[in-house]
Amino acid sequence: MPDYTCLVTSLFRHTESYLHQILDDWLKNSTSTPNGKNKFNYFLLNQTTNLYEYNDKNANLITSIQKKYLNELYSRYNKLRHPFSHWSENSVDAHVIVDIK
């Protein structure tokens, strides 16, 4: 079975770069831990919409449209990155991209 999952890695890296720029550079939130790991813990899951929402005191630094974009960006990143970046203990449960169409 072909595995094209590696092709989405650059998408995740670009998304992480945008999140670092928006959260750290614009909103002055620290986006990495002392050991260099990503720290995007400024979002809470809205149980009604099932989307993550930026929840920080600096939220007033961006417009509602920008906040909506940020929420959508992080929600998609969070939803897609984990299943394609990690392998399940049971390989039947692993997400693999088998077709590039």
Structural domain including 20 reads 5-29+41-87
Tally of domains within the chain: 1
**Token duo for residue 99:** 């077709």
* pLDDT tens digit sequence for 34-80: 998 999 999 999 999 999 999 999 999 999 999 999 999 999 999 88
* pLDDT surpassing 70 at residue 84: no
* pLDDT tens digit sequence for 9-28: 888 889 999 999 999 999 99
* pLDDT surpassing 90 at residue 8: no
Q: CA–CA separation, 10 vs 57, rounded Å?
A: 31
In a domain, 96, yes or no: no
CB atoms within 10 A of CB 77: 20
In a domain, 35, yes or no: no
CB atoms within 10 A of CB 27: 20
- What's this model's pTM, rounded to 2 decimal places? 0.79
In a domain, 94, yes or no: no
In a domain, 77, yes or no: yes
